[in-house]
Structure 1
Amino acid sequence: MSHAVHPVPTRLGAFARLAKLDVWDYYLAVPLAWSLCGPDGWGSAPVLATLGLFLVGAVGVVAGAVAFDDVTGFRDGSDWANYGPNAPARRLARKPLLTGELSEREAVVFGWGATLFGLLVWTWTVAFAPHSPLWAVLLLALCFFAAVQYSWGLKISYRGWQEVFLAGFGVGLVLAAVGLCTGELSGFAAVQAVLFGLGPLLFGVYSNTRDAAGDARVGRPTAAVLLSAQGNKLFIAGLSVAEVALIVTAAGLGAAPWWFSPAMLPAVALRVAQLRRGVGLGDLLGARLIGLHAHRATVALLVLVNLFAPVLGGT
């Protein structure tokens, strides 16, 4: 049965949508890592080259992972259930396998090509980085392995690990990039990496809630599938509260400057607005959109905090 819906605008555009290049939130780990390198690293050619390679490799790895995710969703029918023929055209167009713009074989070949490209570039990154502590190299290897196995091979997202991956991958990207550039890891960097990782998780859980029926049909056990409707709301609220609590308590725990919490108030306000929209009013798509803005605002604020820390006093 053919699922073709729209004519092919361009082949390149179809592959770009397969790679989800318009969703660049994980790539924000790179400017955040740069800001954590301190004044000595901000203008350093080796640091800038390392982060540039790191970003190119990340694009390849993520593009491969999301391509494999689309292939798996196409094969098991979950994407057709969640993005069915009644979906808005713009939303359905994000799935070029469903629209018939790409074949399954083309998507698989693209996925492997992007993945191997990302592995090659990340290998170069480690080879030419100013530092290569074992913990950073192992963390980067774990990020690569988890991305490839997200919905392919071991299919960790089909085994109850989706939420762990959504947060952990972001945490790993930030810490690995900082480690390769500085060779060190501070408590403040760890706090910021966790806040970064919570960003994709806190817009992903709203998408998972919207897609719960389709995921349940194919045995993909997200929190939204495993928990009751009320339990899932409590889960989302708990994650939101945990993020705010980390921001509020970081200074008291000695991991952040005293002015960190006030500086992050705009991000906290967005997170509260997201919780109200999604959990309070039940507007899942609206909450997801606010979550995207909250993540990007959080990263921007963290970068500013790091840039001003040497002047105002940091950790």
Structure 2
Amino acid sequence: MTAPAPPPTSRRLRSFFELGKFKIIELWLGFWVGVALLGRSAYQDGRSLAILACILIAGIAVIAATCSLDDIVGVRDGVDQANHREGTRWGVDKPILTGRLDEPSAFRFVHLLAAVAGLGYVAVLGLAWPLPTWLWATMTAMMGLAVNYSYGLKLSYRGAGELVILVGGSGTVLLPYALVKGDAPPQVVISALLVGLWHAQVVMFSNTKDAAGDRATGRMTIAARCTPRGNKLFIASSFLLGMGATWLALFRGLLPSFYLLALAPVWMLQAIQLWRGLRREEWLAARLLGFRVLRIGILALTAINLLFHR
């Protein structure tokens, strides 16, 4: 006997869950690094906990809206038809492409997510006010950039997708800390940039796999614009930049020495990631390793800061 099909409502909810990429928790996991950097005193303050809860909800809603808009535009422009027919990419299910959701339903879901994000944004401002001008401007810009990844300004079509992902990934670490404390010391900024760079590197390998399809459909990512050699140099330089900046920060005392305990396993995994990607051109395998870098790196930074940070 075959298993009974799930009820229509359940299937529809699952389709919205896949549309928003909610199962890819790595997209917002950096939040916990920012929380760990706050120190234990913040966890005993009701106002701080309320700020953290609101920015987490708003952040997840913005990320889900960004992913949903990416799917909507991807089907509209033919990008998903060119790149995702195989359906073999971890964490990626395309309910619009497969016909389980139509575009109007997807847009209604985006509007719901926008309402949730907007309420969270207003709540955060109310709870954390007064805020430095740079902080609320940064938070607003980060949210605005995210939804313009594939929709609106379509920044990922103009070669700025990796930058948007870098900024967004950094924001998951930076904003929780800064909204509670009102500032952002070097350790927080560098930790945020590291997490943002790990996010961007996942996209670099994914975009390399998609370069031919993106080029054919007008989505001119860096991988689509560059020669294969130029793109490999771009990817390699991002890894060298991350490692070089980290060692410089350690040498200058901007990062504590215990960060080496957290980053050593990340660097070993990244070496394998580069070999699988740049040497063997197994782009999706390198992408998958990038998610493992995110998981291990974020969990290690969170644990090490909870252990040593007061």
Give the TM-score normalised by structure 1: 0.90
**1:108-161 deviations in Å (ceiling 9; x for gaps):** 121122123212212112211376222221111011111121111111212221
Q: Superposed, which structure 2 residues align to 1:34-183 within 5 Å? A: 34-84=35-85, 87-88=86-87, 94-129=93-128, 132-183=131-182
Q: Quick check: 1:131–1:179 contact (8 Å CA) kept in 2?
A: no
Structure 1 residue 39: Cα displacement = 2.8
Match of 2:258 in 1: 259
Q: Is the 8 A contact 2:36 2:306 kept in 1?
A: yes
In structure 2, C-alpha distance between the alignment counterparts of 1:90 and 1:308, rounded to whole Å: 35
For residues 149-202 of structure 1, give each alpha carbon's deviation from its aligned partner in whole angstroms, at most 9, with x where no partner exists. 111111121222111101011123322221111112111111101001011111
Equivalents in 2 of 1:310, 1:263: separation in Å?
13
Q: CA deviation at 1:248?
A: 2.1
Contact 1:247–1:264 (Cα < 8 Å) also in 2: no
Unaligned runs of 5+ in 1: 1-6
**Paired amino acid for 2:159:** G
**Aligned counterparts of 1:222 and 1:281: Cα–Cα separation in 2:** 21
In 1: Cα distance, 2:298 partner to 2:276 partner: 22
Deviation string for 1:13-61 (max 9, x for gaps)? 0000000111122311321111111232133322222111111111111
Contact persistence 2:36–2:302 (CA under 8 A): yes
Asked if the contact 2:21–2:92 (Cα under 8 Å) also holds between the matched residues in 1, the reply is no
In structure 2, how many angstroms separate the alpha carbons of the residues matched to 1:39 and 1:280?
A: 44
Q: Return the structure number with greater relative CO, CA threshold 8 A, min gap 6.
A: 2
What TM-score, normalized to structure 2? 0.92
On the 8 A contact 1:57/1:118 being kept in 2, the answer is yes
The CA deviation at 1:294 is 0.5
- Look up the match of 2:230: 231
Determine helix, strand or coil for the equivalent of 2:24: coil
The alignment partner of 2:38 has SS state of coil
Report the aligned-residue RMSD. Answer: 2.0
Residue 43 and residue 131 in structure 1: after superposition, are their counterparts in 2 closer, same or farther (change >3 A)?
Answer: farther
Q: 1:111 to 1:207 in 2, by over 3 A?
A: same
Q: Does the C-alpha gap of structure 1 residues 40 and 188 become closer, same or farther in structure 2, counting only changes over 3 Å?
A: same
Q: Secondary structure at the match of 2:150?
A: coil
- CA 1:244–1:91: 2 relative to 1, 3 Å: closer
Q: Report the equivalent of 1:245.
A: 244
Q: Aligned pair 1:270/2:269, yes or no? A: yes
| d(CA) in 1 for partners of 2:300, 2:172 | 18
In structure 2, do the counterparts of structure 1 residues 91 and 200 end up closer, same or farther at CA, with 3 Å as the change threshold?
Answer: closer
Q: Percent identity over the alignment?
A: 32
Q: Residues of 2 paired with 1:92 and 1:246: CA distance? A: 30
The amino acid that maps onto 1:33 is G
Name the CA distance, whole Å, in 1 between partners of 2:234 and 2:90: 27
Q: What's the counterpart of residue 295 of structure 1?
A: 294
Contact 2:32 2:173 in 1 (8 A): no
